[in-house]
Amino acid sequence: MTLQENNAMAVVNIAAAQVTRLAGLGFKDHNQQSVSASVYAFASDELPAIGQTLAGQDLFLGGFSGLHFEGVAPRTGRWKFITHTDRGPNAEPTGLNRPFLLPDFTPELVRFELDRSTGLLTLTGRIPLRDSAGNPLTSPLNRCACGTANTPHQTRTRGPAGDCAAVGSARW
């Protein structure tokens, strides 16, 4: 499970309702005096399609959180990073209903490298998140277990997502 505001990952034993391990994605000291920032973007053809909405709109990989610097690649000198996707593309809620545009979206860890001399970002790895049985996790929060104010909906044409019988499962 991703803990994006905490820049960490958690391993959760769903059956036992226990966090079994926390893995921090690094510490960043934001109090340093000499900090500068540069903005880099993936080329539009670099990000693969991740699905299509019911309306036929293609959606592309993005929506990253929890960026972590993994070091410098010894052979190329490129900077290596790992990040993770959010829970998937979703739209602004209507009341308490939040539409998820790709209800079967599987969150993933994403690795990429930055060539600082050219500004080129290159995807180097994608790791889909799976449960202990190897099934892909799906994007919406379990509304019965998480206590959020929003109820996940697949789309207005497919109806509400999940039910409380799915507690303990990442699927809806």
Q: What integer pLDDT is reported at residue 1 of this predicted model?
A: 79
Note the pLDDT of residue 36.
Answer: 77
Q: What is the mean pLDDT of each run of 10 residues along the chain (172 residues)?
A: 78 89 79 78 88 87 88 96 84 75 86 95 93 79 49 48 34 34
* pLDDT recorded at residue 110: 95
Tell whether pTM > 0.85: no
Q: What is the pLDDT of residue 127?
A: 94
3-state secondary structure 44-71: CCCCCEEEECCCCCEEECCCEEEEEEEE
Direct distance between the N- and C-terminal alpha carbons of the chain, in angstroms, rounded to an integer: 16
Looking at residue 73, its pLDDT comes to 96
pLDDT the model gives residue 69 = 92
Sketch the domain layout of the chain as residue ranges: 41-166
